[in-house]
Amino acid sequence: MSEPRPDDPRWFTPSVTRPQPVAIAEWLRRSLFVIPACGVLVGTLGAVAASRATWIDVGWVPTVGDTTVTDARTILGAIATGTITALSLVLTVSLVAVQLAAGQLSPRTVADYLGDRFQQITIAAVLGTAAYSLSALRTVGGGPGRDPGARELVVALGFLATIASLLLLVAAVDRTARRLNAGRLIDGIAAETCTLAHALYPRSGDEPTSPPDEVGHWTVRSVVAADRPGWIGHIDEEALCAAGLPEGSSLRVVRPVGTFVLG
């Protein structure tokens, strides 16, 4: 009996695919489009709502002097241009750094960056501010029926949104720089691996919950472990010896100063 050929209906190539709900949830979690798109929508609707707030009292809105129509348009245009430029520069530098880290450390760096919720919220805030400013440009005119109080409110909200967006951008750059660390990356991969392993193979209850009492010729009573990855800069051996060790016990420094530990 001959084996089926590729053009034969009996030919079958097995494949493994994710369940559709799981694939959609994973795409939503690692997408840089969904949350930023919501930010653009919120910014646009916010500009329309603020421009139609005819009940606003001019004296209630915090301003520096009287904002004319020309001033409002100039400020909103500068906000839109500045936020878009800042976001473009930050995204370019961040993606280049992530790509370099992916080549030197692990390709999972890119997925970790895309799935970072803080990065997604930051991009949404900046894009929302830009969309707010662009939408408000056409609503701050001085035509009949335009309320000066609404114009003052639109400009004040633009100021607040711009300050918040810039602070989020700085925090996002700092967060990205700190996450591109070999120790943090390894810890993240280890945590995801352990979570998946525990989900697939639940504990039976008979596993040991404490370290062994003996390691080589040493009797282990207490271990001081690092709580985070980094370089050991100082070890106060005198303070460790004066911490009330039992009589006849020994203190062993496994990792000397200058060693990198994973935590």
Blockwise average pLDDT, block size 10, the chain, 263 residues: 53 53 75 90 91 63 66 91 91 84 76 84 94 88 62 88 94 86 74 78 65 52 71 76 72 76 68
How far apart, in Å, are the Cα atoms of 204 and each of 192, 207, 208? 20, 7, 11
Candidates 165, 176, 159; CA nearest to 87 is 165
pLDDT at 42: 95
pLDDT at 227: 72
pLDDT at 208: 57
Name every residue whose Cβ is closer than 8 Å to that of residue 107 and which is 6 or more positions away in sequence. Answer: none
Can you read off the two tokens belonging to residue 197?
């392993």
Pairing, β 214-215 against β 230-231: unpaired
Query: Are 224 and 255 a contacting pair, CB within 8 Å?
Result: no
pLDDT at 84: 92
pLDDT at 167: 95
Query: Are 131 and 40 a contacting pair, CB within 8 Å?
Result: yes
Candidates 144, 146, 134; CA nearest to 51 is 146
Query: Are 50 and 154 a contacting pair, CB within 8 Å?
Result: yes
Neighbours of 4 (CB within 10 A): 11
Query: Are 125 and 168 a contacting pair, CB within 8 Å?
Result: yes
Can you read off the two tokens belonging to residue 18?
């994710």
pLDDT at 12: 47
pLDDT at 43: 94
